[in-house]
Chains A and B, each alone.
Chain A
Amino acid sequence: MADLQIINVSKSYGAVEVLRDVNLSIASGEFVVFVGPSGCGKSTLLRMISGLEEAPTGEIRLEGKVVNRVDPAKRGVAMVFQSYALYPHMTAFQNMAFSLTMAREPKAVIKEKVGRAAAILRLERLLDRRPGELSGGQKQRVAIGRAIVREPKVFLFDEPLSNLDTELRVQMRAELIQLHAKLGTTMIYVTHDQVEAMTLADKMVVMNGGIIQQHGTPLGLYDDPDNKFVAGFIGSPKMNFIKAKVEAVRTDAITLSDLGGCSRLELPFRNFDADIREVELGVRTEHIDIAQDAGTTDILAAKVAFVEELGDVTFIHTDLPTGERLVVRSSKARHRGSSTECFVKLDPAGVLLFGTNGERIRSA
């Protein structure tokens, strides 16, 4: 178990800046997930922690010691790769024992440590098999076993489940959570899949364009995003965004107009900056309801584009007159497929405001 600090770390490849001034503190025993779209720098950051990539500026501290110049093998980190990276000519046992063999550990110790890791991962019967004779999930377990055997201070996972099919991914996710509970070691996990990130993380670090956009608990980020990117990235289906004009500002409320063309909305809000004239509303699908009729001004008229009926829940994709797409989650009743026109009502309590620069505008 170890705590990790990343201080002012930047990295460029030529003129391309991959990471910009990254600062992050990871507590001992935490399960941290780096999440973001492809090319956001999350894997580079992980590789810098592992030592496979140099950190030219800034500091990486493990248990208080700067490890920038420490050899990858001596940092006390173990990594599980996306492609498993198992040595194909060795059996599962030899793969897991490789680091111990390199360290010239006595055979009895190797056998004992590999045996213990194999027991945790239920690999005892597969130890004599070569990677070619294992399924995807089993290979991944051997790769994790190889990391466990090293008894690292920090586990690093680089998109380890992306080569598995959906069912196996869900199963492996559960196993990783159990493994973390059992070992209690600090784990850093990289993925582009926000569902994976939400289910695994104690702390979620959302990255984009080489910058940490926000970090915090998964639900904290879901409920209270700092900017439009985080709000849109987390949650499935994505958060809806609707442009609006600020019509009136009072001390504890504002009135927005031109929502979806013509509707108006009264929103409780303290100390709104009166200079802001345009905002963007962020509303999650569960905070929008289908209304019976256009009775009040806060109801938006929309056209149903298509409907996703998933049994327990129905997502109604609608288009506003302004061309904006609004997805409504309906768990109460199934959609009556025939109508193409509908009315939707936003729940003011679930509405977040963003400025035109994408930053969140918070109520004081």
Chain B
Amino acid sequence: MTTDVGLIRTAAPGYALDLSIWTVLKWTVAICVAVVAVFPIIWMINVVFAEPGVPVSINPRLLPTSLSAGIAKIDTILSETSYLHAYYISITYSLLTIAGVLLIGSMAAFEFALFEFPGKRPMFVIVMLSLMVPTAVTLIPTYLLTANLGWLNTMQGLVVPGLASAFGLFMLIQFMRTIPREMIEAARLDGASHFQIYRHIALPMSKNALVTLAILIFMQTWGNFIWPLIVAPSPQMYTVGQVVGLFNAPFSHVTVDIVMAANLLAALPPLIFFLLFQRKIVEGIAMSGSKG
């Protein structure tokens, strides 16, 4: 023991073991929150990767027991349902939304953040007000509008209404405001047109914000359940969320482990995404939250 303490002290002299009550309390709360957050996922993985008919609840365990059983379940879902098609719809829906929001948001943010034009303030206020309106309020008018356009059960019906993202615009404006005015002026003197300044200066300089926004939109679009449900009710346009919804329906005859496998498949892309872009996501949330 003595040697261990000695080692810790010599290895990291800056980090004295400061076990105050506050530190202990902080860690306890953090661990509790982490357990609550991670438990359902572990539970899900355990149920999926277990032999059918061996309920996890009766014989609780920390690690999965059968990899092959899990793979078999996933195989069943992918081969016997339209899960792959739903994946395709969800990914297309997400990617198109990301591309659209980034394009429209960055163009609007460029104008709002770096230039003066008549009506700028009232327009900005209106956009910001739309952030305050709950989605449920706009759902029916947006649906009616989309239906009138004949866009029910179409990809544009899914994507277009989500392109005007007030949150995305706000986040990009906050970021682009940090671009020095002199840089825009230098580009003007260098002969760049308005669009070229956007394309060659503002856009590359906002890369971090754009990546963060793309990730946040992906998480949001992937998890969006209500809009696809009402605007694309045809099975041909089912997103992953809707398919999972079918598995979870009250009168579904599917067993719990298959339902869990479907849930796992739905959770996988955002999970991988999160693990890959963890730092950017945290930065993004901090940026959009603290810089307002």
Residues on A facing B (Cβ under 8 Å): 50-52, 72-74, 77-79, 81-83, 85, 87-89, 98-99, 102-103, 146, 150
B183 to A72, Cβ gap below 8 A?
Answer: no
Classify the interface of chain B: helix, strand, loop or mixed: helix
B180 to A146, Cβ gap below 8 A?
Answer: no
New A-B pairs, 6, CB < 8 Å, besides A79-B189, A102-B193: A72-B188, A73-B191, A78-B189, A83-B182, A85-B180, A89-B205
- In the complex, whether B185 has a CB less than 8 A from a CB of chain A is yes
A73 to B189, Cβ gap below 8 A?
Answer: yes
Among A82, A87, A88, A99, contact of B191 (Cβ-Cβ < 8 Å): A99
Q: Who on chain A is nearest to B196 by CB?
A: A102
Interface mask (B152-194 → A, CB under 8 Å = 1, otherwise 0): 0000000000000000000000000000101101111111110
Q: Within 8 Å CB of A73, what residues of B?
A: 188-192
Q: How far is the CA of A89 from the CA of B191 in the complex (A)?
A: 18
Q: How far is the CA of A85 from the CA of B185 in the complex (A)?
A: 9
- In the complex, whether B134 has a CB less than 8 A from a CB of chain A is no
Q: Within 8 Å CB of A50, what residues of B?
A: 189
Interface residues of B, count at CB 8 A: 18
Q: Within 8 Å CB of B183, what residues of A?
A: 85, 87
- In the complex, whether B207 has a CB less than 8 A from a CB of chain A is yes
- In the complex, whether B201 has a CB less than 8 A from a CB of chain A is yes
A81 to B191, Cβ gap below 8 A?
Answer: no
Q: Which of B5-60 contact A (CB under 8 A)?
A: none
A81 to B205, Cβ gap below 8 A?
Answer: no
B185 to A98, Cβ gap below 8 A?
Answer: no
Q: Within 8 Å CB of A74, what residues of B?
A: 191
- Chain B proximity of A100: nearest CB distance (Å): 9
Q: Within 8 Å CB of B190, what residues of A?
A: 73, 98-99, 102, 146, 150
- In the complex, whether B204 has a CB less than 8 A from a CB of chain A is yes
> Which of B183, B185, B200 has the most A CB atoms < 10 Å from its CB?
B185
Q: How far is the CA of A85 from the CA of B201 in the complex (A)?
A: 11
A102 to B192, Cβ gap below 8 A?
Answer: yes
27 A-B pairs in the complex with CB atoms less than 8 angstroms apart: A51-B189, A52-B188, A72-B188, A73-B190, A73-B191, A73-B192, A74-B191, A79-B185, A79-B186, A79-B189, A82-B182, A83-B180, A83-B182, A85-B182, A85-B185, A87-B186, A87-B200, A87-B201, A88-B205, A89-B205, A98-B187, A98-B192, A98-B200, A99-B191, A102-B191, A102-B193, A150-B190
A89 to B189, Cβ gap below 8 A?
Answer: no
Q: How far is the CA of A150 from the CA of B180 in the complex (A)?
A: 22
Known: A99-B191, A102-B191. A89 touches B207 (CB 8 A): yes
Q: Within 8 Å CB of A89, what residues of B?
A: 204-205, 207
A77 to B180, Cβ gap below 8 A?
Answer: no
Q: Within 8 Å CB of B189, what residues of A?
A: 50-52, 72-73, 77-79, 99
Q: How far is the CA of A77 from the CA of B189 in the complex (A)?
A: 8
Q: Within 8 Å CB of A78, what residues of B?
A: 189
Q: Who on chain B is nearest to A79 by CB?
A: B189
Q: Which of B126-155 contact A (CB under 8 A)?
A: none
Interface mask (B189-229 → A, CB under 8 Å = 1, otherwise 0): 11111001000110011010000000000000000000000
Q: Within 8 Å CB of B207, what residues of A?
A: 89
- Identify the 10 closest CB pairs spanning chains A and B, nearest first: A99-B190, A73-B191, A85-B182, A85-B186, A89-B204, A102-B191, A81-B182, A85-B183, A102-B192, A98-B190
Q: How far is the CA of A283 from the CA of B182 in the complex (A)?
A: 42
- Chain A proximity of B178: nearest CB distance (Å): 12
Q: How far is the CA of A79 from the CA of B188 in the complex (A)?
A: 11
> Which of B189, B191, B207 has the most A CB atoms < 10 Å from its CB?
B189
Q: Within 8 Å CB of B191, what residues of A?
A: 73-74, 99, 102-103
Q: How far is the CA of A85 from the CA of B190 in the complex (A)?
A: 12
B192 to A52, Cβ gap below 8 A?
Answer: no
Q: Within 8 Å CB of A72, what residues of B?
A: 188-189
- Chain B proximity of A102: nearest CB distance (Å): 4
> Which of B187, B196, B207 has the most A CB atoms < 10 Å from its CB?
B187
> Which of B188, B191, B205 has the most A CB atoms < 10 Å from its CB?
B191
Q: Within 8 Å CB of B196, what residues of A?
A: 102
Q: How far is the CA of A98 from the CA of B196 in the complex (A)?
A: 11
Q: How far is the CA of A324 from the CA of B183 in the complex (A)?
A: 47
- Chain A proximity of B48: nearest CB distance (Å): 44
Q: Within 8 Å CB of B204, what residues of A?
A: 87, 89
Q: How far is the CA of A99 from the CA of B187 in the complex (A)?
A: 8
Q: Who on chain B is nearest to A80 by CB?
A: B186
Q: How far is the CA of A99 from the CA of B196 in the complex (A)?
A: 11
- Chain A proximity of B206: nearest CB distance (Å): 10
- Chain B proximity of A151: nearest CB distance (Å): 13
- Chain B proximity of A79: nearest CB distance (Å): 5
Q: How far is the CA of A52 from the CA of B182 in the complex (A)?
A: 10
Q: How far is the CA of A150 from the CA of B188 in the complex (A)?
A: 13
Q: Within 8 Å CB of B187, what residues of A?
A: 87, 98
- Chain B proximity of A350: nearest CB distance (Å): 43
Q: How far is the CA of A72 from the CA of B205 in the complex (A)?
A: 23
Q: How far is the CA of A22 from the CA of B186 in the complex (A)?
A: 25
- Chain A proximity of B233: nearest CB distance (Å): 45
A52 to B185, Cβ gap below 8 A?
Answer: yes
Q: Who on chain B is nearest to A89 by CB?
A: B204
B186 to A81, Cβ gap below 8 A?
Answer: yes
Q: How far is the CA of A173 from the CA of B204 in the complex (A)?
A: 33
